[in-house]
Amino acid sequence: MHIEATVVLDSGCFLPAEKPSGLEPGHYYARVGYFQNPTDEPDVRIFVDSNEVVNEPGLKLGSQNNRVEIRHVFEDGTANTRGATRTKTFHEHIIHLKHLYGEHIEMDPDKFDYVITFQSGRFLPSMVKKRAFKESTKEKDAFRFVPTGNRKEIHRVSHNVIVHFTLGKGEALELVRDDEVILSSCDLGAKNRIDIELPVSNVVGNKFYHDGFKDPRADGVYWLPNECDPPPNCPRPPCGDDPLG
């Protein structure tokens, strides 16, 4: 019997992918920069056979540039390192920062609270719909953004990204932080499916559109998603294994 498993990315910055030698064409190791939610909000929500598993206190993934991995493990205990793939429409629907700035933006992986690596899984766009972005100026002496009144509306933006896995007999999906397994599907008793959500609080939402920039904008002007709820973005392709701008 197979178990279908999904990981839902509520936001994130897709960093340049890694492609070790030996991977098949179209396969790569995906990396996603993420920011931790406030202390009283979980970084992870877990659903087993459509019922939420409540963890008290809520699972946290770190704020010290931690290394996080979503790992598909075979029955013999070895990890699936065959590479992640994506649907043909993935880049068509994900927001590229070039759409906002007219150029690609370099991110600094060290500025994220944690970076998630996927060495397997299939990436799909989800909740594709129109989205508005507002131009805002960052005040020099305060962590505050003031809208300029300018807006951009972009059609067909993926507001979530889903990563799909199929687990065979004896296989597991693990959540690993700094080489320590903090969650394994083996302990969840699923019969049919597992859903893991990585929600993003509105309190930290806009960080995905400025805090990870390698270099602050010289003019102090940033494009922020309207009403927060930041969609995942690709700041500088390739975030797969070929440049699709």
- What are the domain boundaries of the chain? 3-234
CA 109 to each of CA 73, 131, 213: distance values in angstroms, whole numbers, following the listed order: 26, 26, 9
Taking the C-alpha atoms of residue 205 and residue 235, their distance in angstroms, rounded to an integer, is: 16
Report which of 149, 119, 117 is spatially closest to residue 226, judged by C-alpha positions: 149
pLDDT of residue 47: 96
Q: How far, in Å, CA of 27 to CA of 5, rounded? A: 19
Q: What is the pLDDT along the chain (245 residues), one digit of tens a residue?
A: 799 999 999 999 999 999 999 999 999 999 999 999 999 999 999 999 999 998 767 899 999 999 999 999 999 999 999 999 999 999 999 999 999 999 999 999 999 999 999 999 999 999 999 999 999 999 877 678 999 999 999 989 999 999 999 999 999 999 999 999 999 999 999 999 999 999 999 889 889 999 999 999 999 999 999 876 678 888 877 776 554 33
Under a CB-based contact definition with an 8 Å cutoff, are residues 79 and 117 in contact? no
Instruction: Using the Cα atoms of residue 131, residue 47, residue 179 and residue 238 in order, give the sign of their dihedral.
Output: negative
- Prediction pTM value: 0.91
Q: Residue 88 burial (CB < 10 Å; 0-12/13-18/19+)?
A: exposed
pLDDT at 142: 67
Asked if 147 contacts 135 with a C-beta cutoff of 8 angstroms, the reply is: yes
